[in-house]
A and B are shown apart, each in its own frame.
Chain A
C-alpha cells in the first residue's frame, strides 16, 4: 500500500477495534450516531483553523499568513504565552501517516498537542466518597486516565510533531464531558505503543476484514453495529463450528444490540401534478395551483416514493441525498422505474466479493436454495394459518417441495421445485379469503396468479405489493453495499434488480401476500376500490390509500427472529438479511438462513 497515508484517527480506532478501523479507514463505511454527532459538535467548535505556525525551517508559506503570524508574535513577544494553533495538519512520508491536530501549543521549538474528546476519561473502579467524617480519607482510587485509543492518537501526534522538528515534552487530552484536561508525558513507552499500533493497523489493512469482537462491551454503543452485526455473525460462526464437532465454547444468543426503532414517516405521493420541494430543510408539498398540501419536517422523513406524474425539484433531491433519504420513482401502476440513492459510503469489497462468489455456480445455488426453501416454508405457514379448509395433502406436498429444493443440484431443478410449490400455493390461495369476500376470491380462483396485466383485484394488489417490496429490497441491498442487479435465483436481465428479488423471496408470503389477504378480509379493500380497464385491473386513488395504510402497518409489524431471538420490524428484518447476505459473500458467516415464521 504505497502512497497511502493512514490518518492518526484511524490508527487510534484500530486500538479500539480492528474491525471498526477496517470499515471506516479501509472500506470507507461510516454510519453516524448520536454519539458521533456529539463528537462532531465538539470538534466544529475546536476545528476553526487558525493561522499557520511559523515553520521551523524559516521558509514561510503564503505572504499573508506569514504577516499575521508575525503580528501575533509581536503581540505575544513580551509574554511567555505559547501560540495556539488549531487544526494543524501534519504528514510524514516516512511513516505514511497524516494527522490533523485539534490544538497544538507552540512555544518556539516546543510543541504540546492537545486532543479534544466529547466523552469522559477512563476510570478504573468507582469513585468512593468518605462515608463518615471520622474516616480521614476515602480509599485511594486510581484517578482518571486517558483511554488507550487516545494514548495512541496522542503518541502518533507527538511523533509527527517531533519529525517536523519540534520537541514535545508532554501532551494533553481534554475530555469535554467533564471539562477535564489530562496530562500525558511523552516518553519512549508512549511512542513505542503508538508505533506498534501503526504497524498493526497497516498489517490489518493489508489483509481481510477482521472478525467482530466477541461479546465486547464496546459493541452496544458503537455506531457501526447495524453494519458490523458482531453478535449475529459470531453466533452463526460458533454454531457452525459446534456443528462440525470443533470446540466452540461460546454459545451465544445475540444481545439485543439493534438500535431501538426510530422510524419516522414514509411518504408516498401519488396525486397527479403534485410538486415536492424544500424550504430550508423542511419538505413542502404543493398542489397544481401552488397551494400547500403539507409541510413535513425533513428530520421525520424516512423515505419517499413517487408514483406517476409527480414533480420533485432538483433542490429537494439534493437535500434528500444529503440526508440519505432514498427516493423511489414508480409508475402509477407501481412498477419501480428508478431509485435515487445517495453516493453514500459503499464498500467496494462487498461488491467485489458478490461478483466473485455469485460467479461460482455452487455458491449461487446455495443462495438461491436458501431463499427458495425459506419462501416455500413461509408459503406453507401462511396457508396453514389462514386457510379455512386446507386439504391435508397440501401441507405435506409443500413440505416435499422444501425437501426437494434442499436437495436440488442445479439451478433449473431448483427453479422447477420453486414453480411447483408456487403452483400448489396459488391454487389454494383463494381459500384464505373469508365468506364476505367470496366474489373477489372466485375471480382470483378463475384466473389464478397472473401478472401482466393483473386481471382481478387480488392479482392487482399482489403485483402492487411486490413492486413496493422490490423497492424496499433494492434499498436494503444498496444499504448493505450489495449490487442489486446481480442475483442468484433470478437471472440477470436489463433493469431487473435480481438480487433484490432474491432477497425478497422469503418475504413475499410474509409481507405482500399477507397484506392482500388481510386487507380484503378486513374490508379495507373492496370491489369498489378497483377499476377494470383494458390494461387490466387497477387500484383507484382511494384503493391505493387503503393499500398503503395496510402496507405501512405490515412493514412496521415486529416479528421475532427464530435464531437471534429478538424482535425487529419487517422493514429492519429486510436490512438485517441484506447485511447477512453481504457477510456470507465475504465468508464471515458460513451459511445462510432466512426468516421463516411459525
Chain B
C-alpha cells in the first residue's frame, strides 16, 4: 500500500541543498521550494531515507517526514493553501 508523506528539509549548505532537491524530485512533487508531497511504497520510503542520509550532514541539516496516511484524497485535502494551489497529479494511467 502506498502511503502519503509530506517531506520538508532544512539544509545549511548550497551544494547539499541542490542535491537533496534533485533527490526529492525523484520521489515526489514539489509543493514549495523545500516541501514535497510524496506517495511512496514502503521500499521507496526506505530508499529515500537511505539516499538522503548519504547527502545530508546530519549534524547540521534536518529532513522531516510527516506521515499523512494511506488515503491519497484525504492526504491532499489535509492541505489548505493561500495563494496558488499546489500542482495536481493524477494516478492510474497517465496518457500524454
Contacts and interface: CB of A to CB of B under 8 A. Distances in A.
Contacts of A260: 1
B16 interface: no
Contacts of A262: 1-2, 41-42
A163 B2 CA distance: 48
A281 B47 contact: no
Contacts of A282: 22, 25-26
B83 to A, nearest CB: 20
Interface of A: 32-34, 37-38, 40-41, 44-45, 260-271, 274, 279-282, 285, 293-300, 544-545, 548-549, 551-553, 556
A32 B2 contact: no
Nearest to B22: A280
B25 A265 contact: no
B50 interface: yes
Interface in B40-65: 40-50, 53-54
A267 B96 CA distance: 8
A266 B96 CA distance: 11
Given A260-B1, A280-B23, A299 B95 contact: no
Interface in B80-96: 89-96
Interface of A, secondary structure class, is mixed
Nearest to B44: A299
A436 to B, nearest CB: 25
A280 B26 contact: yes
Given A280-B22, A300-B39, A551 B93 contact: yes
Nearest to A265: B94
A281 B22 contact: yes
B27 A299 contact: yes
A296 B43 contact: no
Contacts of B11: none
A40 B90 CA distance: 32
A267 B28 CA distance: 16
Contacts of A553: 92
A296 B91 CA distance: 11
B92 A299 contact: no
A280 B19 CA distance: 9
Given A41-B49, A44-B50, A297-B38, A265 B1 contact: no
Contact of B46 (A38, A271, A544): A38
Contact of A297 (B1, B26, B53, B93): B26
The residue in A267, A281, A551 that gathers the most chain B C-beta atoms within 10 A of its C-beta is A281
A521 to B, nearest CB: 20
Contact of B93 (A34, A40, A266, A274): A266
A281 to B, nearest CB: 3
A297 B27 CA distance: 5
Contacts of B27: 281, 297-299
A40 B50 CA distance: 9
A266 B26 contact: no
Contact of B95 (A281, A297, A545): A545
A297 B28 contact: yes
A264 B93 contact: no
In the A-B complex, the 7 residue pairs with the closest CB atoms: A281-B26, A552-B93, A34-B42, A280-B22, A41-B50, A260-B1, A282-B25
A370 to B, nearest CB: 30
Interface residues of B, number: 32
A544 B94 CA distance: 12
Nearest to A278: B26
Nearest to A260: B1
Contact of A274 (B25, B50, B96): B96
B43 A280 contact: no
B54 A44 contact: yes
Contacts of B41: 34, 262, 264, 299
Given A41-B53, A260-B1, A299-B38, A552 B46 contact: no
Contact of A548 (B44, B47, B49, B95): B95
A461 to B, nearest CB: 15
Contacts of B22: 279-282
Nearest to B48: A299
B43 A297 contact: no
Contacts of B42: 33-34, 262
B26 A269 contact: no
Contact of B96 (A40, A44, A269): A269
Contact of A299 (B26, B49, B94): B26
B44 to A, nearest CB: 5
23 contacts: A34-B45, A44-B54, A260-B1, A262-B41, A264-B2, A264-B41, A265-B90, A267-B93, A268-B94, A269-B95, A269-B96, A280-B26, A293-B96, A294-B94, A297-B26, A299-B26, A299-B27, A299-B40, A300-B89, A548-B93, A548-B95, A549-B95, A552-B92
Instruction: Output the residue of A266, A282, A548 with the most chain B CB within 10 A.
Output: A282
A356 B40 CA distance: 41
Nearest to A547: B95
A270 B95 contact: yes
B46 A34 contact: yes
Interface centre among A41, A260, A297, A556, by most chain B C-beta atoms within 10 angstroms, is A297
Contacts of B40: 299
Given A33-B43, A282-B25, A295-B25, 6 more contacts: A262-B41, A264-B39, A265-B94, A279-B25, A282-B22, A549-B92
A108 to B, nearest CB: 35
Contacts of A280: 22-23, 25-26
Contacts of B48: 299
A34 B26 contact: no
Nearest to A32: B43
A37 B50 contact: yes
B40 to A, nearest CB: 6
A34 B96 contact: no
| Most chain A CB neighbours (cut-off 10 Å) among B48, B54, B94 | B94
Nearest to B47: A37
Nearest to B49: A41
